[in-house]
Structure 1
Amino acid sequence: MNKIRMVLIFTIVCLISCKNTVVNNSKENKILPKRKKVIAYVMGGNNNWGDNNEKAKQITHINYAFANIEDGKVVEGYPTDGENLKKLNQLKQVNKDLKILISIGGWGWSKNFSDAVLTEKSREIFAQSAVDFMLKHNIDGIDLDWEYPGQRGDNNKFRPEDKENFTAILKLIRERLNVISAKKNQYLLTIATGANQKYLDHTNMKEAHQYLDFINIMTYDFFTGGSNRTGHHANLYKSEFNNEGGTSASKAVEEHIKAGIPIKKLVLGVPFYGRWRKGVNPKYNGLYQNSTGKRGSYSYKTIADSLSNSTFVSYWDNKASAPYIWRSKDSLFLTYENPKSLKIKLDYINNNELGGIMFWQFNGDNGELLTTILINN
């Protein structure tokens, strides 16, 4: 009888203990949110990660930019690519979960994309060369930055067939990656997309996203200085000062969702640089005004240093959630990202359950923007 009583007591204690363990684990899961992707684009050539090993601890992915396309094959863009990728791989010593991807194309090296994926044979060659490049450098995935399928970029060839060929090449690369992923690691396939409806009209994202792990939306360069009118280049929302329509980061996200992409696959892009224009009409401190002068860009660290100079005055567009700068002595207007606007974007990402944040590019920061991202991730 005593033995039976002891067994019953032991069983009850175990059940209570197990129940408490489950409840505690459940509470912990609720307290600890799932980590968002933090994706850093790093330029090739002489610009690289440097000695910023500590910062690598909180980065989830590094996209090395860029590989080029020659004779239908993916090739190194810079003589230092091999050494640079080797150094980036060494960052896994401080962050074992870090993923390194090779980004192919970009604004300057997309001119041969259309030819490279034109036929079934050319796609086979391109896909295999992309996978071979990845394996050669012992990295974790491939990022296609085709600017742009079916439309003009930087002196690139484009044709109507790009729409279906883009989907076809993504499908083929995914199939190749799946074969080797079954034997080794889980290799990634991603793309960078334009932040406008025109890009989506020239692609079939409803089908294409099925072959992708996630999609980086280039939600910047809305104003590039190429026109005679100023504007925000990375505003989250539409500005009340813009009576001509225009785009915004939130609008680009909505358009991607309507195109058939799950929101959790979408990664919001932010710029670590600003764009300026001189000879600007002073109304509204240059915002959405005509301009006649020179144009250019500054890294965020240059902008932050310049703000200590009293001739640079920063303003805030509350409706757009975007900062801008006006310098009256030469009628300079500058549009950029700062910690305040970035924090609002991070709240937008978290509240709407996007996949994460991407930035172009790492060396443009003085540490303030990346710190803002890491604090709010």
Structure 2
Amino acid sequence: MRKISSWGLAQCLFWACVSGIGERTAPSKVTSSIKVPWTNSTTTASSSSSSIITSSWDIPVGNATTSVLIPSTSSTIVLPGSTTTDVVVTPTSATTAPPFGNGTSSATVPSTIISSTSVPSGNSTTGIPVPSTSLSSATVPFGNTTTSATAPPTTSPTAKPTLPPGPFRGFKNGAYFTNWGVNSGFHPQELPVSELTHIYYAFADIDADGTVKSSDPVVDLQKRYPDDSLSNRTANAYGAVKQLYIHKKLNRNLKVLLSIGGWNYSPKFVAAAATDASRYKFATSAVKLVTDWGFDGIDIDWEYPANDVEKENLVKLLQACRQAFDTYTLLHGVQYQFTISVASSAGPQNYENLDLFTMNKYVDSWHLMAYDYSGSWDTVSGHQANVFSYESSAESKRLSTDAAVQHYESQGIHPQKILLGLPLYGRAFEGTSGLGQNYTSVGQGGPQPGVYYFRDLPKPGAEVVYDDVAKATYSYDAAAKELISYDDVRSTTYKAQYLKWRRLGGAFFWEASGDKGGAGGLVNTMSKQLDWLDGTPNNLHYPTSQYRNIRWGMPGE
């Protein structure tokens, strides 16, 4: 009995000590929930009490979203993954300098809390905006480069960060191909498809109720080429649509997008984007046209929203299109992400009427129309596609590509989503003594007054001048007093180096029929300079196409 009592007393003393220690070390009012992302899941790390949590944000890592709640005091958080990421929050202010460019200007971020976040998602770093109650500068890895972007100060505190593009798979090199060009003798078979990753087929028309439709059914679907059957009366697609599908079938990295709008049809966007009903009609009919024709997405070319109402409606229109494509792929089991691109202005008078930050959630690629900077609307001659500003006057209103790129990045657009536009035509100034001088007219031109295709330039007798400040080319005929601003092989080569330096996603050309082709062509020049072209496969599966040959995958072609 004595031995048993001693043993029992020892056990009581031991558990009393353990209980006391537990009571002294247990935290009060602390909850923790951690879900580890392995696929498309969500990870939440919480550290909360009644008063110390001051900010939160979402950080995209691959296909997962990681939410982090942080205390107001400085701390370090290590996120799970193959690399170590430090998240440090310091109660201070900061100055963010543009990552690239010739200047040394900087943008000050007005905030009392600035957080700097690096998230592993590849072997490099890029920047995305992290909007919250305090502005943040975030660094997210993509590719082999580092780019920073600052969230605009007007961002809603509840808005989520803009998702960056996926892993970089090569530069895009695209060209617009017009259906009216077929009537002028330039056919789909002449496209340099081995040098292209994307073709933008221009343009689809828009009905009053918002329905997207063919602007030329004969060229698009009915025109017969030598290899087409003349007696086949079944529901097959012919014309340019068939030829583009054959290009895709033989070149699996070639994507074809339907470009909707353009200068002539752009006024119809106002009504199409105005109501829920018209936006739904636009989106569903665009999806039907794309999946009937065997295309890979759409390109929205609205030139241009003019006020705040149209600015907001364009965002809603893009959202409707994204939802319509996602619904189609879900319902029909199509394992493909259809693309949405936007042709957008490089001039502030137009891009200020675009809600770039919000639009970016639904846009896969931005086509920066970096041309038409000078023309018949100006009082003096000038470059029409210069990379940098070339006038020293502080009052100068001249546009430049570099200024536009910086603006788009400042609105939270990842540089890899920006494609640099190049013209395959030149703009003329007659009766002028040189660049920046008065002129009398723009002349007769080729396809239209004052415009000449690149394939016809330079004119005989004209001297080619390269402006090393603007990084732009023009030709000048002193006898005829004619100046023509255009891109040539030299300026295109520089632009290829510029977009790699800026870490942009690639380039596109307006429009394919203006090129010379071969080694002297600009599409070929860009392709060689970029070297690594986008290898993302296209889609050939269209189970709902009303055209039998596209629905069956163009057998025998």
- Cα 1:265–1:46 change in 2 (3 A) is closer
Work out whether 1:369 is the aligned partner of 2:508.
Answer: no
Residue pairs, 1:1-377, within 5 angstroms: 34-47=169-182, 48-52=186-190, 55-71=192-208, 72-79=210-217, 80-82=219-221, 83-150=239-306, 159-182=307-330, 183-184=333-334, 185-240=336-391, 244-280=396-432, 282=433, 286-295=434-443, 296-304=450-458, 306=459, 309=460, 311-367=461-517, 368-377=521-530
Q: Is the 8 A contact 2:427 2:452 kept in 1?
A: yes
- Cα 1:249–1:49 change in 2 (3 A) is farther
Distance 1:139 1:105 in 2: 17
1:49, distance to aligned residue in structure 2 (A): 4.2
Distance 1:362 1:124 in 2: 32
- SS in structure 2 of the partner of residue 112 of structure 1: helix
Q: Is the 8 A contact 1:313 1:326 kept in 2?
A: yes
1:45, distance to aligned residue in structure 2 (A): 2.1
1:245, distance to aligned residue in structure 2 (A): 3.5
Q: Partner letter of residue 370 of structure 1?
A: V
Equivalent residue number for residue 8 of structure 1: none
1:34, distance to aligned residue in structure 2 (A): 4.2
Distance 1:264 1:63 in 2: 19
- 1:221-244 CA-to-partner distances (Å, cap 9, x unmatched) read 001222221110001111147762
Q: Partner letter of residue 346 of structure 2?
A: A
Distance 1:51 1:140 in 2: 19
- 1:315-371 CA-to-partner distances (Å, cap 9, x unmatched) read 121100111111123311100001111111111111221011011011101122122
| Bigger shift: residues 263-272 or 175-184 | 175-184
Distance 1:298 1:246 in 2: 22
Distance 1:204 1:111 in 2: 19
- 1:257-276 CA-to-partner distances (Å, cap 9, x unmatched) read 11221111111000111000
Gap runs ≥5 in structure 1 = 1-25, 151-158
TM-score by length of 2: 0.57
Q: Is the 8 A contact 2:195 2:523 kept in 1?
A: no
Equivalent residue number for residue 16 of structure 1: none
Distance 1:358 1:314 in 2: 24
- SS in structure 2 of the partner of residue 207 of structure 1: helix
What percent of counterpart residues are identical? 31
Q: Partner letter of residue 455 of structure 2?
A: K
Distance 2:249 2:474 in 1: 39
Equivalent residue number for residue 42 of structure 2: none
- 1:289-319 CA-to-partner distances (Å, cap 9, x unmatched) read 1112234110000114x2xx2x211112110
Q: Is the 8 A contact 1:228 1:292 kept in 2?
A: no
Q: Partner letter of residue 301 of structure 1?
A: R
Distance 2:260 2:356 in 1: 19
Q: Is the 8 A contact 1:74 1:126 kept in 2?
A: yes
Distance 1:241 1:233 in 2: 17
Gap runs ≥5 in structure 2 = 1-122, 124-142, 145-167, 222-238, 444-449, 531-557
Q: Is the 8 A contact 1:56 1:94 kept in 2?
A: no
- Cα 1:267–1:46 change in 2 (3 A) is closer
Q: Is the 8 A contact 2:388 2:402 kept in 1?
A: yes
Distance 2:527 2:187 in 1: 17
Q: Is the 8 A contact 2:473 2:488 kept in 1?
A: yes
Structure with more helix by fraction? 1
- Cα 1:326–1:242 change in 2 (3 A) is farther
Distance 2:188 2:456 in 1: 18
Q: Partner letter of residue 296 of structure 2?
A: D
Q: Is the 8 A contact 2:318 2:359 kept in 1?
A: yes
1:177, distance to aligned residue in structure 2 (A): 0.8
Structure of larger gyration radius: 2
- 1:145-182 CA-to-partner distances (Å, cap 9, x unmatched) read 000011xxxxxxxx531011000000110011112234
1:278, distance to aligned residue in structure 2 (A): 0.8
Q: Partner letter of residue 198 of structure 2?
A: H
- Cα 1:56–1:205 change in 2 (3 A) is same
Q: Is the 8 A contact 1:241 1:288 kept in 2?
A: no
- Runs (4+) of structure 1 exceeding 6 A deviation are none
- SS in structure 2 of the partner of residue 175 of structure 1: helix
Q: Which has the higher contact order (CA 8 A, sep 6+)?
A: 1
Q: Is the 8 A contact 1:231 1:335 kept in 2?
A: yes
Two-structure CA RMSD over aligned residues (Å): 1.9
- Cα 1:225–1:145 change in 2 (3 A) is same
- Cα 1:276–1:242 change in 2 (3 A) is farther
| Bigger shift: residues 160-169 or 40-49 | 40-49
Q: Is the 8 A contact 1:222 1:233 kept in 2?
A: yes
- SS in structure 1 of the partner of residue 241 of structure 2: helix
Tell me the matched-pair count. Answer: 331
